[in-house]
Every structure is written in C-alpha cells, then in structure tokens.
Amino acid sequence: MSQPDLVHLARDLTRIHDAVITGGPPPAPPRALVARSWERMLRLGLDPAGGNRRVLAAEADVESRRHRSKLRLIVDELRSAILHTSSSEGFILVVTDADGVILWRDGAARARRQADGLGFVEGAHWSESVVGTNAIGTALAEEAPVQLFSAEHFETSQHPWYCSAVPLHDPADGRLLGVVDISGPALTLHPTVQSLVTTAVRLAEARLLLSQQAQLATLRSRYSTLLGGSGEPALVVDDEGWVAYRQGVTTRDRIEVPDPDRTVHIPGAGLCMPERVSGGWLLRPAGTGQTTIALRLHAEPAVLEVRSSETPHIVPLTPRHAQILEHLTAAGAQGISASDLSIRLYGDADHLVTIRAEVSRLRRSIGALIATRPYRWADGVTVRVDDAPARR
C-alpha cells in the first residue's frame, strides 16, 4: 500500500477545517463522516480552538468501571497484539468503555507525555460531546470504525494527531462494550494502522466468546453432576443470565440477570429463588411449580399477590402498572403489542417509548412473570382479577 504525502494532506485538511469552522466555502468538501461530526459539534457549540473542558472520572470510578467491564478479560491480549508490532514505537493504545471513558492506556512513552497535555488520559471522557470530533467519540456516534487524520479532528489542539478506533462488541449478544483506539503523531501514520486495530478487535471478540463458552461448560459440568440425581427442576446460569444447565424446565438460552433479593419466574418451575454459586446462579422452585396470581385492583394501593408456595409474595402496584396488568390480563394468551397498549392507555400509538419504559420498570418489580413480544403473562401463570374496576 502506497503511503500518501502526509504533509500536504495535513495542509489541505487544515484549509478545509478552517473554512468550514468560519462558515466559508472549503476548497474541497470534508469526508461525509467528518462533515456529519463537525455539524454535530457546531450544533453543540463546542470550541474548535480546543478550549472545551475535560471531564475526568474519579480514580474509584475508573476502577469500578474496569471491574464491571468484560474488556478486563482481554485487555492484556490487546496489548500483546498491538504493542508488540514493529510499528508500535510511536503510538499509544487506548481502550474505553461504551461511554467513551478511557479505562486503559499504554504505549510509547513520548506519545503518552504528549497525550497528557490533551487530557487523553485514563479516566477522561472522550465522547464527541466533550472533546469534539475524535476517532473514539465518532466511532461511538457512528457505531462504526473511524480513522481521523490531523485537521479532521474538530479541536485544533488535536490536529497533530491521527487516531484509529474500532468499536468492540460482546459476541454473545452484540452489546457494545467499548472502543479500541491507536493514536500517534499525525505524520507517522502508517497505512496498516486501521487493519491492525480491526484485526486485534476481532481476535478479542473471539476470545470473549471462547471465554464465555468455557465458563458455561464449567458450570454445566459441575452442576449436572450435583443436580442430576435429584430429578427436581433446576436452572444454572452465569452472571449475565446465560443458561449453562437446565433440568426439568423449559426456557430460552438467556433469562433476566438474577437478583438475590427477588424471585424469578421460570416456566415449568414457577417462582424460583436465585442462589449464588461459584461462577453464576442456581435457581430452584420456591414452591409447587404452578404460579397463580391475584390482581387486586381495589386495594389501596393496588397489589399483585403471587403464590407458588404456602407464603404469597405481595407486590404493591402504581396506578399505571395496575392498568397495564389489567390490559395484559384482558388480552389473554395472544398478548398485546406496545402500540396497542399505548392506544389503550393514552388514546394514540405515539407513546411507545413511555410504554416500554413502564413495562421495563414493572418487570424489574415482578420479574419474568411478564413475557415480551408481545406483552403477556408468562407461560404457566394463572391470573385472577378481582371484581372492582381499575382506578383511572
């Protein structure tokens, strides 16, 4: 791959940048991706001269974010794949979370010192809304790999740099985990930088998938032996709700993330109380396996009485949640869509975001007793509504 004339390219981009920022006609249009980002920055009123304040997370917050991030499992492999190359002497490796907060930074000492002056440090927020057009923030905004060179950055203080960033996703569910970025002095940009980052990210995603599969296999091996002889319904899941082992129950490959203080409804097992085990959760029936519900709309407040054992579980309901459950019950097994529920509650189908948020809050309160797509009572749940009408 031929190397472009980086000096001339940087000069041309500076002329384009200055013209766009001052509202004049540029000598050539910026790349479409860059133009979209600059337009966002101008609407936000950011300072192209680099006077935008830097937002730094506290050290404790950075440590907490690292602990929660699955990227901690593969950051050492990213360092090995990227920093042990022959061209790594002049750049730094940066790994952020999905908010654009820098969690890890490593690489050339000189580049790190230069980055310190930009606030390009661990704990810094590098979303577009904070520091303008940059590969990390723009990759998050565009949900795509981004490489920026020199004056394609919005802030002039970032013009001496190139940045090449690739989003990294959880291979299990596609959730964005963060961004991997290589940054260095602009005039040292090598044509292979973007492919280096992309390859490293793909290898990291594959490693995460293998790690998850290995953890599920370990849970399955351990608890199939322990539980197999009992014949009782049971479910073993990892910390994110992925099913490692099921016995006598029918469920999808993933359930809601267990909470030690809240029962979970599992089809065929009824209400289950999560029990913390090494590497995940064990869920076993709290009662008979048949869940019956009395929806008492006349109470003050309205309540949901859930029974799958001798002792019922009582859940107070807000007026809105009582209305939602009343409509779910009336809909029967076929359920009700978010748009139909919006029409019933608000008179139009324009409140989908509100409906989804309310149902999400309701499910956090009563667990997987409510199924989705469409909204309905979960299989194995029998519901009875008292005679009094719901309050409006």
The residue among 391, 389, 371 whose CA lies nearest residue 381 is 371
pLDDT at 310: 54
Residue from 276, 285, 287 nearest 237 by CA: 276
Task: Output 48 or 301, whichever has higher pLDDT.
Answer: 48
In which element (H, E) is residue 326 found? helix 319-331
Q: Is the pLDDT of residue 211 over 80?
A: yes
State residue 259's pLDDT score: 78
Query: In this model, does residue 114 exceed pLDDT 60?
Result: yes
For position 299, what pLDDT does the model report? Answer: 80
Predicted confidence (pLDDT) at residue 179 exceeds the cutoff of 80: yes
Angle of the 135-142 helix axis to the 32-44 helix axis, nearest 10: 100
CB count within 10 Å of CB 271 equals 26
Supply the mean pLDDT for the chain. 88
pLDDT tens track for 33-42: 999 999 999 9
Query: Between 105 and 312, where is the model more confident?
Result: 105
Among 2-6, 280-284, 340-344, whose mean pLDDT is lowest?
2-6
Residue 102 one-letter amino acid: I
In sequence order, the 6+-apart residues with CB closer than 8 A to the CB of 30 are 13, 16, 17, 20, 38, 152
Complete domains list, the chain, with CATH: 6-210 (3.30.450.40), 229-285 (no CATH), 291-385 (1.10.10.10)
- Picking from 99-108, 134-143, 161-170, 286-295, which range would have the lowest pLDDT averaged per residue? 286-295
In angstroms, the CA 98 to CA 120 distance is: 16
Q: Which pLDDT does position 367 carry in this prediction?
A: 67
**pLDDT tens column, 221-235:** 988 888 877 778 889
